[in-house]
Amino acid sequence: MSDRFRIDGRRALVTGANTGIGRAIAESLAERGAHVVAAGRSSCAETVAAIEAAGGRAEAMTLDLSDPVAAAARLAEAGPLDILVNNAGIIRREDSVDYTEADWDDVMDVNLKAVFLLSQAFAKAAIARGTGGTIVNIASLLSFQGGIRVPGYTASKHGVAGLTKVLANEWAGQGITVNAVAPGYIATNNTEALRNDPKRSAEILGRIPAGRWGDPEDIGGAVAFLCTAAAGYVTGAILNVDGGWLAR
């Protein structure tokens, strides 16, 4: 009997795979047998080296999502893909009364427009081949909450949640599942300042039932599950990986 939690022989592209959550996702997919295309604006050489050192298969691809149209046009360069993980994202912090149009547009381009255009290009190719496929988007706790001083990020991540559902509805009949993972507070470079602030860190940990910050590998495992045959009947779902934050 085949292992329904393996993805051997499948080819997966992960955006923002150079560090943090993106790197953990790439490594988790490779561990389960996928050939990973680690894509990012910055070099993904370290991610590829780590995967290969562990006996996996990977290659790097430079992909700048600040120009979503150009990035989507280059997706075919990665070869036929079975899995697309839209992980890359940016955040700009400022009081909403002072938030600039440039910051809004930059965040929306990377966090939402690129997610749609890459998914669209992926789906067009998969439908033409008749092979089906898997898309996993990285949402956020701010797909459900408002936060403060991050209007562009919050709006974009609410958009990712809605986009995940509409694409799941449209493409399920073509054998394409579309889901999202919503990370909670994860120990990455992006949260280093929060973790180093004793007061803020204590406030956050006091709200998390699990009592700890998440690890990037927690997200990698959740994404990998959604890419396996075991999750073949899961589509349009947003899986919270937050230590219980939203349940509190």
Active-site residues: which are they?
153
Instruction: Tell me the DSSP string of 8-55.
Output: TT-EEEEETTTSHHHHHHHHHHHHTTPEEEEEESS--HHHHHHHHHTT
Residue pair 133/122 in contact (Cβ under 8 Å)? The answer is yes
Structure tokens at 49: 């080296």
Residue pair 20/190 in contact (Cβ under 8 Å)? The answer is yes
Burial (CB count <10 Å: 0-12, 13-18, 19+), residue 4: exposed
Closest CA to 37 of 19, 55, 63: 63
CA 186 remoteness from chain centre: 13
Q: Where are the beta strands (DSSP E) in 141-191?
A: 176-183
Instruction: Tell me the DSSP string of 93-116.
Output: ---GGG--HHHHHHHHIIIIIHHH
State the residue for tokens 């699990």.
210
Closest CA to 178 of 128, 141, 142, 139: 139
